[in-house]
């Protein structure tokens, strides 16, 4: 296994050589064995994994038109996923690293572009156009099962003007299935007493569509006391007028989850028995409920003028019980949030102004949050008398607006530019200490953004972008904290995306991002100013179909992240930012035969990272995991067999350093090799 791991690690160096070689492939190169990209996709910069199906209107300012790094996971990849938490699906995307905390309802999340998701809020999440970040900034993808998803789009960098809050290093857009006439049922069972059932029912007639989803999953988990039970129900009802100018509808969703947490292990405990729970964490875990409803409207005033509007309200209630050490006590961390808001965009598109195409967009978004956050000392999930030591009640208002232009000057030149501004207000009450405060006066937060795509020859796109994003604190960090003004994040990227033939696509880019007064959570969970930081790296992605049955895809991302000027008293100046992997790499081989047999073999690799600010302790966290999926399609029935961690790698999904009390390094073991069988019916 060690020999195989070393061979796979060395293989990443062949990816840059392969892409450079592909740059010299011309459109007259031989036959076309498979179809990776359509001619329209060849003119765009984004990369995809799997077939991408788009059910809603396109043709306006879409993600695929962005002059930067955009990656997409398609439908058949998502339908075949077997994960306890949907956030794990994003691990296939280039440049994404996943911190697997495995602590019940706090299971883990992704990071990109050198940000530590354990302490930084750097990625905005939108599902069907509705924001799904908590007030803390963490993405909440829990209510969405992969089988309900149509595609996932990841935008990396600072150039996207559509979003303000949490859009620091990029954003994730998730689109769920909607419309059509079909019924899909998928059943799965396997290791750790895992069972899952999903049903999608879609009906469409005379302009009215209705789509229903029901999903349930339960598992005992690889580790002791890591069982999960969760269920989701959703409905979508949409009407499209006969002239196709009006589309209006409602989406409603309900989700419940109950998950236990096994706690973190010391290194000796991990080596001796990675399946064990931490004894002092024997009653850790949590419950979560989500309720969401949204209204969606699209209207074409003319062929050139399009209006889109969304309004929503969503409630989240979560209790998490956690104990980090024998010396400490168990805490209940209680969150009760209501978010509501509205988003509108007005787009004008024309070719009448002496250029090939021009899109002008004006967007406005408003959000209101009413949040309660408490921490209370407990004994086996029972609150102690007067055990509350944090009791926050706060309201926040966010208002943002942007104007954007996307100009296709001629066949070889596209220019984009945008200017976004955000304002924030709110009030905060600390009920424990009986104090009140207003939100910091951030004033107007301006974010200019520009981009360019040059296509000297069809299938070769040179792109570059520059943009400013921002970061503000969470919880108390937005109220009465003089040293926590907003952080400016300036970033740029330049690269090439090439697709000289429709069966090949590759992208190579270099990027940098610099932050002033960056904000991160400290050991007590409160935000602090960590000063100036610099991040840079390069990404490479490849998708090639050498035969009509075979598609190979891969990505390699190298990241440097440094504390540049953390302050005169800090000792970490010039050190690597903790918990940022040196590299992340993914490589997959998909096989699909016309007789019905298909398979997918993919490898995920991650480099090690420092676990302390001063980089004095040994680096941890590197691993290589290979997964295999086998399927046979009988038209109406598809049988599947799935192996996770094919070579039974012993690894940790996350390693971190406790800095309060007695310092200790804690480990979160990853799952051992596991087997699953599935059957999917489609009517």
Backbone angles phi, psi at 355, to 5 degrees: -130, 170
Kindly give, in sequence order, each residue whose CB lies less than 8 Å from that of residue 601, ignoring residues fewer than 6 positions away. Answer: 588, 589, 626, 627, 628, 629
Kindly give, in sequence order, each residue whose CB lies less than 8 Å from that of residue 273, ignoring residues fewer than 6 positions away. Answer: none
Give mean pLDDT, residues 592-609. Answer: 94
Exposure string for 370-404, b = 16+ CB within 10 A, e = fewer? bbbbbbbbbeeeeeeeebbebbbbbebebbbbbeb
Q: How far apart are the C-alpha atoms of 552 and 529, rounded to whole Å?
A: 43
pLDDT of residue 41: 65
pLDDT of residue 172: 95
Question: Considering only 11-25, 107-121, 143-157, which range has the smallest mean pLDDT?
Answer: 11-25
Q: How far apart are the C-alpha atoms of 280 and 379, rounded to whole Å?
A: 11
Q: Which has more confidence, 1 or 429? A: 429
Residue 10 has pLDDT above 50, yes or no: no
Residue 121 has pLDDT above 70, yes or no: yes
Question: What stretches of 427-472 show up as alpha helix (H) in DSSP?
Answer: none
Residue 602 has pLDDT above 80, yes or no: yes
| Cα angle for residues 297, 300, 301 (degrees, 5° grid) | 120
Kindly give, in sequence order, each residue whose CB lies less than 8 Å from that of residue 582, ignoring residues fewer than 6 positions away. Answer: 558, 559, 607, 608, 609
Burial class (CB in 10 A: 0-12, 13-18, 19+), 638: buried
pLDDT of residue 31: 40
In the three-class reduction of DSSP (H, G, I as helix; E, B as strand; rest coil), residue 41 is classed as helix
What is the per-residue pLDDT across 532-574, written as a single tens digit (0 to 9) for each? Answer: 999 999 999 999 999 999 999 999 999 999 999 987 768 899 9
Q: How far apart are the C-alpha atoms of 650 and 647, rounded to whole Å?
A: 9
Integer CA distances (angstroms), 561 to 98, 144, 167, 571, 657, in order = 17, 32, 18, 16, 18
Question: Over pLDDT 90: what percentage of the chain?
Answer: 78
User: Given pLDDT bands bounded at 50, 70 and 90, which one contains residue 354?
Assistant: confident
Strand runs (DSSP E) across 593-622, as ranges?
Answer: 597-606
The chain-wide mean pLDDT, for the chain, equals: 90
Assigned CATH for 2-682: 2.40.170.20
State the CB neighbour count (10 A cutoff) for residue 23. 12
Question: Considering only 27-41, 110-124, 307-321, 487-501, which range has the smallest mean pLDDT?
Answer: 27-41
Question: Considering only 18-27, 188-197, 425-434, which range has the smallest mean pLDDT?
Answer: 18-27
What is the per-residue pLDDT across 23-78, written as a single tens digit (0 to 9) for each? Answer: 444 433 334 455 566 666 666 676 777 665 555 544 333 666 789 999 999 888 89
In the three-class reduction of DSSP (H, G, I as helix; E, B as strand; rest coil), residue 282 is classed as coil
Give mean pLDDT, residues 122-134. Answer: 95
Give mean pLDDT, residues 122-135. Answer: 94
Give mean pLDDT, residues 661-676. Answer: 95
Give mean pLDDT, residues 464-475. Answer: 92
For 313-369, the DSSP string reads EEEEEEEEEE---SSS-EEEEEEEEEEEEEEEEEEEEES-SSSSEEEEEEEEEEEEE
In the three-class reduction of DSSP (H, G, I as helix; E, B as strand; rest coil), residue 400 is classed as strand
Residue 593 has pLDDT above 70, yes or no: yes
pLDDT of residue 529: 86
pLDDT of residue 23: 45
Question: Considering only 1-15, 151-165, 326-340, 490-504, which range has the smallest mean pLDDT?
Answer: 1-15
Give mean pLDDT, residues 383-393. Answer: 92
- The conformation of residue 391, written as its DSSP 8-state character, comes to E
pLDDT of residue 660: 84
Q: Which has more confidence, 465 or 8? A: 465
Task: Give yes or no for a contact between 169 and 181, defined as CB atoms under 8 angstroms apart.
Answer: no
Question: Over pLDDT 70: what percentage of the chain?
Answer: 90
Give mean pLDDT, residues 462-490. Answer: 87
pLDDT of residue 22: 45
Q: pTM above the 0.75 mark?
A: yes
Q: How far apart are the C-alpha atoms of 530 and 111, rounded to whole Å?
A: 18
Give mean pLDDT, residues 144-164. Answer: 95
State the CB neighbour count (10 A cutoff) for residue 30. 8
């Amino acid at each position: 296994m060690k020999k195989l791991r070393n061979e796979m690690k060395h293989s990443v160096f062949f990816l840059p050589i392969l892409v450079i070689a592909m740059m010299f492939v011309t459109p007259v190169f031989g036959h076309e064995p498979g179809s990776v990209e359509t001619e329209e996709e060849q003119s765009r910069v984004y990369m995809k994994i799997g077939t991408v199906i788009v059910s809603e209107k396109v043709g306006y300012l879409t993600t695929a038109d962005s002059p930067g790094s955009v990656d997409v996971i398609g439908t058949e990849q998502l339908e075949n996923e077997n994960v306890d938490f949907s956030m794990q699906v994003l691990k296939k995307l280039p440049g994404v690293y996943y911190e697997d905390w495995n602590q019940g309802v706090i299971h883990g999340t992704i990071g990109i572009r050198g940000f530590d998701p354990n302490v930084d809020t750097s990625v905005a999440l939108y599902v069907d156009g509705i924001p799904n970040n908590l007030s803390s900034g963490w993405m909440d993808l829990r209510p969405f099962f992969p089988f309900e998803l149509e595609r996932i789009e990841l935008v990396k960098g600072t150039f996207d003007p559509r979003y303000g809050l949490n859009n620091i290093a990029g954003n994730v857009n998730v689109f769920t299935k909607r419309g059509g006439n079909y019924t899909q049922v998928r059943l799965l069972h396997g290791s750790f007493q895992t069972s899952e059932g999903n049903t999608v029912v879609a009906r469409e007639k005379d302009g009215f569509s209705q789509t229903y989803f029901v999903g349930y999953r339960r598992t005992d988990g690889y580790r002791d006391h890591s069982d999960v039970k969760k269920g989701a129900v959703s409905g979508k009802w949409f009407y499209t007028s006969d002239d196709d100018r009006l589309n209006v509808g409602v989406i409603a969703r309900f989700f419940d989850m109950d998950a236990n947490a096994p706690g973190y292990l010391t290194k000796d405990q991990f080596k001796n028995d990675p399946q064990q729970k931490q004894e002092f964490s024997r009653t850790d875990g949590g419950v979560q409920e989500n309720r969401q409803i949204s209204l969606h409207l699209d209207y074409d005033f003319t062929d050139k003028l399009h209006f889109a509007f969304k309004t929503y309200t969503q409630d989240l209630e979560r209790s998490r019980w956690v104990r980090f050490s024998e010396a400490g006590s168990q805490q209940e961390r209680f969150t009760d949030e209501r978010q509501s808001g509205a988003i509108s965009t007005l787009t004008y598109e024309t070719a009448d102004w002496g250029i090939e195409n021009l899109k002008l967009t004006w967007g406005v978004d408003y959000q209101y949050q009413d949040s309660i956050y408490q921490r209370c000392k407990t004994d086996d999930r029972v609150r102690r008398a007067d055990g509350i030591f944090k009791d926050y009640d706060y309201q926040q208002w966010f208002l943002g607006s942007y104007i954007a232009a996307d100009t296709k000057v001629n066949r070889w030149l596209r220019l984009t530019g945008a200017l976004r501004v955000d304002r924030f207000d709110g009030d905060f009450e600390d009920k424990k200490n009986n104090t009140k405060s207003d939100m910091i006066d951030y004033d107007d937060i301006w974010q200019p953004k520009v981009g360019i795509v040059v296509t000297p020859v069809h299938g070769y796109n040179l792109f570059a972008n520059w943009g400013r994003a921002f970061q503000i604190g969470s919880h108390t960090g937005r109220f009465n904290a003089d040293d926590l003004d907003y952080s400016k994040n300036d970033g740029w990227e330049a690269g090439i995306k090439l697709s000289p033939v429709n069966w090949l696509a590759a992208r190579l880019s270099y990027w940098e991002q610099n932050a002033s007064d960056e904000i991160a959570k400290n050991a007590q969970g409160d935000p602090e100013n960590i000063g100036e930081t610099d991040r840079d790296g390069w990404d490479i992605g490849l998708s090639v179909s050498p035969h009509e049955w075979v598609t190979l895809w891969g990505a390699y991302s190298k990241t440097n992240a440094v504390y540049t000027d953390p302050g005169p008293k800090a000792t970490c100046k010039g050190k690597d930012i903790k918990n940022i992997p040196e590299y992340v790499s993914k490589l997959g081989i998909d096989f699909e035969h016309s007789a019905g047999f298909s398979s997918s073999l993919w490898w995920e690799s991650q480099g090690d990272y420092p676990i302390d600010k001063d980089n004095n302790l040994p680096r941890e966290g590197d691993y290589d995991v290979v997964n295999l999926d086998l399927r046979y399609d009988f038209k109406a029935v598809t049988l599947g067999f799935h192996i996770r961690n094919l070579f039974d790698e012993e690894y940790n999904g996350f390693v971190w350093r406790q800095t309060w009390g007695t310092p200790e390094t804690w480990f979160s073991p990853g799952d051992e090799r596991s087997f699953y069988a599935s059957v999917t019916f489609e009517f």
